[in-house]
Amino acid sequence: MPGKVLLVDDDPTLLRFVGEFLTNEGYAVHSADRGEKALKIFYQNRPDLIILDIMMPGMDGWEVAARVREMAETPIILLTAKTTEPDKLRGFRLGVDDYVTKPFSLAELAARVRAVLSRAVLVEEGASKIFMAGPLAVDLGKREARLEGKPLDLTPTEFRLLAHLARHAGQAVAQEDLVNEVWGDYRARGESALRRYIWLVRQKIESDPDNPVRLVTVRGFGYRLES
């Protein structure tokens, strides 16, 4: 699986240690200490993954992520000391794939990199259109979902809801996006029904639906299917 990684941070020590670690893991690493330089390297090398610091002088990580998203779906992991929910939601709205909070262990970062790249490969090669979220598999072609290999008895609406969340496994999905995807033109009905269908899906995928760990609420934003 190892591929090309673009590592962006204005801390030279972090660039050196993380770069050496990822190189030893088999990745081809390109490094940049400024946002402008990162975009130039991105255009020239088209990496498979970007690991991006937020707080940098000049062009910060938010702007770099936004510019990348204008032209590509390249996976992005944000490195940040910012731990507040609004900051995380801002990143998810930009389409980032994961967060790693400073300070972090190199082992944790490697695990996040592998997970994000695995999801990206599944989407790119997914002619079978099977999306994985931990023990949950959603097959769009067969229109079936399985939990630990066992088929789930889902209504068409429950399947559409779960499928859209599975397409974005590990990411927060806005309530408005779910309503549009599941109910389309019937938005008024959808807004009032979404919470009920989230509850119904949880009955079928959670060991304890009252304390969900697979389909979780992102307060003030929407829901996330854990990967």
Enumerate domains of the chain plus CATH numbers.
4-125 (3.40.50.2300), 130-225 (1.10.10.10)
Strand partners, 137: 132, 146
What is the reported pTM? 0.56
| Separation between Cα atoms, residue 79 and residue 57, nearest integer Å | 15
Q: DSSP string spanning 96-164?
A: --EEEESS--HHHHHHHHHHHHHHHHHHHH-TT-EEEETTEEEETTTTEEEETTEEP---HHHHHHHHH
Q: Which residue has the tokens 């020239």?
A: 44
The answer to whether the CB of 87 falls within 8 A of the CB of 66 is: no
Structure tokens at 79: 């490195």
* Farthest CA pair distance, the chain: 53
Could you give the 3-state DSSP secondary structure of residue 218? strand
Question: 103 preceded by cis ω (within 30°)?
Answer: yes
Q: Buried b vs exposed e over 156-183: b needs ≥16 C-beta within 10 Å?
A: eebbbbbbbbbbbbbbbbebeebbebbb
Rounded Cα gap, residues 88 and 67, in angstroms: 18
Alpha-carbon distance 174 to 93, whole Å?
Answer: 8
pLDDT at 227: 81
Three-state DSSP state, 75: coil
Q: What is the residue-level pLDDT of the chain in tens, covering all 227 positions?
A: 578 999 999 999 999 999 999 999 999 999 999 999 999 999 999 999 999 999 899 999 999 988 887 777 788 999 888 767 777 777 766 778 788 888 889 998 998 898 888 766 655 554 457 888 888 999 887 788 999 889 999 887 888 899 999 989 999 999 988 887 776 644 545 566 788 899 999 999 999 999 999 999 999 899 999 98
Separation between Cα atoms, residue 164 and residue 131, nearest integer Å: 10
Nearest to 34 by CA among 69, 16, 54, 59: 59
Q: Exposure of 134 by Cβ count < 10 A (0-12 exposed, 13-18 middle, 19+ buried)?
A: middle
